[in-house]
Structure 1
């Protein structure tokens, strides 16, 4: 099999993913080709098949390579349709893993505006999706701008927060009253390989400023960390760097290291930037 006889086509999660998959399948079948969509992982695949999948990681395990695979450069999107609030981090992890894997691909990464390889060289234009994204989906879409721009703003809305005793119901605002705990964490977005810097912007009121904290940037087992105590109220920026040898999940974690009777923290957001 040569590079001109590609049979694996990877469609990373995008807003009109189902439309893309349907159009590609129908277009190939209209040419008399056999199409297999890898969904469960137990599909039977033969050398004559055109294989469609969203998961490049899985495709590699069952034979996809740089020589026989095309990844379509589609606008990244995390679809939260019918997703319960408790399941959102898992949906973000799954979708951004597939997206980051596609952007880490060292083979053919093709813009859909360019000439696609056979059998999709004359693919018709797709109609835009009809559903407007939710506010959280837009925040996540903006957070994925680092894929093409090398940096992105991660808004307070995409992070998770420990429950406080009181305080305003506002994204990024946290009442720290209570025991030592993980105060802020997330957003569980996969980054591509490389060294990435995060700059986190936090404000502390007079009570919260007297407490000790640790901030972490990285994965669950490997991460950069910094211990600090603000000492006085105000807005602070904290910068950390960490290296990802391959696409992997990432998290900002702010730990409250001492119990508190009063205090409020506000996360104003974070800027993520590729260093190398």
Structure 2
């Protein structure tokens, strides 16, 4: 049987990451040294007079639509998180939320379409790794990651393990006084009824997913009414409660995604408060069977 050109091309998929440009540059140099012609996905590989073509892409949907066999596709994931420094540092949350949605969706597709061909940065700590036939790659010595990017990298492991811890660093808080310490966030409750916690807009695969959230309440904050929402931004599973006493509480809430879409956990204060503090310890996300 004669193979089509698309079945012979090799593909490397790099979802968005803080050091994606560095990975692409290093890969291009090593691949060209190995005799490959390296091209972006938008190019027409048919016009290239070479039998060793490597196509670079952000999206695993592209090689899937092109009919590339799994053996000719590899997905490379950075461990530096998905956010570029300028997005990570931006005080306006909307660009960051959009970046998280985009990067998580492209990472999800990598696992969904080529789960056996996903390589992580930790796989390159030693000798060169053969990621595709005839192509061995060495890893990078990237700079330090931010706390938010570190937490997002951990959160994205939900695609590999069907569970992940979502740390407080990847959520947003609506309060005048917000204190981050040892992976948890304590914030002042004083003010009108409002959304206290929201985020992180990571795209969830279709299925039923449970969020186990730990919250701490001071004596004044324990007397107020709250609502917790978990779902796909527009539709939620909701739970109203009043702690009644101070201490740390665990909340379990489930929602079923009928198709992949962005996720949101929200904690709402349902009545005005004159004092009190709430502590958020993050959420454990697991697929419910």
Q: What's the TM-score, normalizing by structure 1?
A: 0.80
Partner of 1:207: 220
1:96 aligns with 2:104: yes
Q: CA RMSD in A?
A: 3.0
CA change 1:124–1:60 in 2 (3 A) is: closer
- CA distance in structure 2 between the partners assigned to 1:248 and 1:204 by the alignment: 31
Contact 1:80 1:88 in 2 (8 A): no
1:117 aligns with 2:127: no
* Matched ranges for 1:227-266 at <5 A: 227-266=240-279
Partner of 1:20: 23
Partner of 1:175: 188
Superposed displacement of residue 71, structure 1: 3.7
- CA distance in structure 2 between the partners assigned to 1:196 and 1:139 by the alignment: 19
Contact 2:230 2:254 in 1 (8 A): yes
Partner of 1:64: 66
1:74 aligns with 2:40: no
* 1:136 aligns with one of 144, 148, 159: 148
CA change 1:236–1:2 in 2 (3 A) is: farther
Partner of 2:280: 267
Contact 1:183 1:254 in 2 (8 A): yes
Contact 2:111 2:160 in 1 (8 A): no
- CA distance in structure 1 between the partners assigned to 2:66 and 2:280 by the alignment: 42
Contact 1:15 1:129 in 2 (8 A): no
1:85 aligns with 2:91: yes
* 1:32-57 Cα distance to aligned partner (Å, 9 max, x none): 6554324xxxx443446643111235
- CA distance in structure 1 between the partners assigned to 2:216 and 2:172 by the alignment: 17
Contact 1:179 1:260 in 2 (8 A): yes
Moved over 6 A (4+): none
- CA distance in structure 1 between the partners assigned to 2:229 and 2:108 by the alignment: 21
SS, match of residue 190 in structure 2: coil
- CA distance in structure 1 between the partners assigned to 2:163 and 2:247 by the alignment: 26
SS, match of residue 221 in structure 1: coil
- CA distance in structure 1 between the partners assigned to 2:136 and 2:240 by the alignment: 54
- CA distance in structure 1 between the partners assigned to 2:256 and 2:78 by the alignment: 25
SS, match of residue 179 in structure 1: coil
- CA distance in structure 2 between the partners assigned to 1:203 and 1:219 by the alignment: 25
**Greater helix proportion:** 2
Partner of 1:189: 202
Partner of 2:44: 45
Contact 2:13 2:74 in 1 (8 A): yes
Contact 2:209 2:286 in 1 (8 A): yes
SS, match of residue 135 in structure 2: coil
Superposed displacement of residue 266, structure 1: 1.1
SS, match of residue 116 in structure 1: strand
In structure 2, list runs of 5 or more residues that go unmatched. Answer: 48-52, 124-128
Partner of 1:154: 166
1:105 aligns with 2:113: yes
